[in-house]
């Protein structure tokens, strides 16, 4: 890239602790973070694939080109993108991934679904996220031949310093101890529409000052979700063999 910026992408399915992982990079003075740059394309643009969150007229013409332009306009030496694979894959070409250092984070699917249920929200299979995460893995690791760099969410939550050190080594940046602690508060200054959304999904993270260890979660899976979870579990087990 012309401005010598290194762009790291963390691809995830929803509720895989990806925003907490993103927050560790927000503590670095050399890093700018971009939180889900393709979300507005997926949910609000005229090319959207879901109307789950209703309409937003000012985002009707927001395209993947705008999202990509935002990524490459930042000037710090490190740019850290976090997004969900299902929000990205319908809109970008393979050469987009070639310009990034691509990484992944994954979590046991029944725990992911428990988090959706807790918010009294129910995902489509596309939004559950594992199918497109596997497709993205195939593109990046198998077709482009990039090194597999994958974080298991619970391993990260149990051993944040160790996993972050390994992650930084794999992406070619120096680990900084301040990544492990922060002041309570929001990841960034959201607008009114964004604040309502993030208050629902990230209230625990907003009240934290470090990575919290996992808690045991049991969930009764709805009959209509069982096959979806079974398919996602096979993907999780296959990809998790590569976890740091």
Q: For 17-71, write each residue's pLDDT tens digit.
A: 999 999 999 999 999 999 999 999 999 999 999 999 899 999 999 999 999 999 9
Are 34 and 70 in contact by the 8 Å Cβ rule? The answer is yes
Distances from the Cα of 52 to the Cα of 40, 87, 105, angstroms: 12, 13, 24
* Contact residues for 139 (Cβ-Cβ < 8 A; gap 6+): 94, 97
| Percent of the chain topping pLDDT 70 | 91
pLDDT of 200 > 60? The answer is: no
> What integer best gives the mean pLDDT of the chain?
92
**Side-chain half-sphere CA neighbours of 129 within 13 A:** 24
Confidence of residue 1 (pLDDT cuts 50, 70, 90): very low
Q: Mean per-residue pLDDT for 76-86?
A: 97
The per-residue pLDDT for range 224-244, each reduced to its tens digit, is: 999 999 999 999 999 999 999
pTM of the model: 0.93
Over residues 214-222, mean pLDDT? 84
Lowest mean pLDDT among 43-57, 145-159, 166-180, 188-202: 188-202
């Amino acid at each position: 890239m012309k401005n010598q910026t290194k762009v790291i992408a963390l691809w995830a399915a929803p509720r895989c602790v990806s925003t907490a992982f993103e927050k560790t990079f927000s503590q670095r003075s050399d890093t700018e973070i971009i939180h889900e740059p393709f979300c507005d394309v997926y949910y609000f643009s005229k090319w959207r694939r879901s109307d789950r969150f209703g309409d937003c007229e000012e985002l009707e013409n927001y395209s993947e080109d705008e999202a990509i332009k935002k990524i490459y306009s930042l000037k710090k030496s490190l740019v850290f993108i976090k997004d969900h694979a299902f929000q990205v894959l319908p809109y970008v070409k393979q050469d987009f991934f070639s310009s990034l250092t691509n990484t992944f984070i994954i979590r046991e699917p029944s725990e992911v679904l428990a988090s959706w249920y807790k918010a009294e929200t129910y995902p489509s299979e596309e939004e559950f996220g594992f199918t497109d995460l596997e497709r993205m893995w195939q593109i990046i690791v198998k077709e482009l031949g990039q090194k597999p760099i994958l974080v298991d969410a619970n391993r990260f939550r149990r051993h944040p310093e160790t996993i972050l050190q390994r992650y930084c080594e794999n992406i070619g940046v120096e680990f900084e101890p301040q990544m492990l602690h922060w002041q309570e508060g929001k990841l960034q200054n959201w607008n009114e529409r964004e604040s309502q959304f993030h208050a629902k999904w990230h209230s625990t993270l907003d009240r934290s000052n470090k990575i919290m260890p996992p808690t045991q979660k049991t969930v009764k899976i709805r009959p209509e979700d069982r096959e979806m979870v079974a398919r996602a579990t096979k993907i999780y087990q296959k990809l998790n063999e590569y976890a740091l």
